[in-house]
Structure 1
């Protein structure tokens, strides 16, 4: 019975000695990827042919930590440069098939797997490690994409919280659309930061454009108003809609402690300006 180590050495030696044949086999197995090899290299500085050897060597040498780190780095690189998962999957499956072709050739020429036990052990090693690479790659890719999405959303939400100065110490915050748990955190951060930086003494928050606000968001909004008050700023709420008021009343929420309520934004501005 041959050891996995000796089988690994035979496979790596074959790839090193048959470089062009190895690359040709890979490219013929991945038709869609082969036409994009140069584009991927230029766009993301990702050399697929070199990385294919790297993956195979990590798999055959059972270098699990390096395989995991490689998969994580690849996931980030592909996500960062918006390369598709379909191309990656096709490429890795081409590597898998090419590796098995090499095993078949070496079986015929050098009796690589001497018995069934050798073959099944090799099959478990190759397929499990390549699947492990793919799983780690997909997780890394998804995490990076999710992080980028949240950062982009945070930027957009910051832009949708316009605190408008109307005099030296009075500013207006018109809120429009739905406010969910993510957006209320952005509102809290923006409001408290702007009060600290701009020394706002009166903040008029107009809610006439709010489409929806769930109870947990209303609870958080009440805490935002408490924070505004703690920073020495007076909060004035305008444009409270009947449906929103009913929801607050039934939930037992009152804003009187930390904010005044007025009818419309126009009336409030006339009073303070």
Structure 2
């Protein structure tokens, strides 16, 4: 009886971890056509990057996606657990490279100064454009794609 209860609790923990993992890197369609936003939130652990990368690659497979915006605004020193900033830089480089191999452009937004400094000092180069904010990236994409907002007269 105790074994069944323990197995049930382990199953629930795994289920909750999956739900939390899905919520901590949602894939959101953007207002700019063929563009998705991936805000990365929560504590950063080494194993999360593999899951996020896999989730993004599976999502863009067989979809008409041209650009993936990865939002790192929520990532700060206190949100990084058991991962050094240098490792995060390498993981971001690998993520951008993998997304690029799928034929999708990667834009990074919201990088914090600590991470940028560490990446520069360690010689980590991202093969992707970066912008200070999500709005700046959207403005760039809208200009690039010839999309504009217009007020509709009544």
Bin the TM-score by the shorter chain.
0.7 to 0.9
* Structure with greater helix percent: 1
Report the equivalent of 2:135.
Answer: 266
Tell me how far 1:169 sits from its aligned partner.
Answer: 0.5
Report the equivalent of 1:159.
Answer: 23
Tell me how far 1:197 sits from its aligned partner.
Answer: 4.1
1:133-148 matches, cutoff 5 A? 145=10
Decide whether the 8 Å contact of 2:109 with 2:132 is kept in 1: yes
1:36-51 matches, cutoff 5 A? 46=1
Q: TM-score, normalised by structure 1?
A: 0.45
Report the secondary structure of 1:172's partner residue. Answer: strand
1:58-77 matches, cutoff 5 A? 75=3, 77=4
Report the secondary structure of 1:199's partner residue. Answer: coil
Distance 1:151 1:197, change over 3 A: farther
| Greater relative CO, 1 or 2 (CA 8 Å, sep 6+) | 2
- Bigger Cα Rg: 1
**Structure 2: where are the runs of 5+ without partners?**
143-154
Distance 1:271 1:217, change over 3 A: closer
Report the equivalent of 1:240.
Answer: 111
Decide whether the 8 Å contact of 1:161 with 1:173 is kept in 2: yes
User: Considering only aligned residues, what root-mean-square deviation do their CA atoms show, in Å?
Assistant: 2.1
Q: How many residues align?
A: 135
**Structure 1: where are the runs of 5+ without partners?**
1-45, 47-73, 83-144
Tell me how far 1:150 sits from its aligned partner.
Answer: 4.1
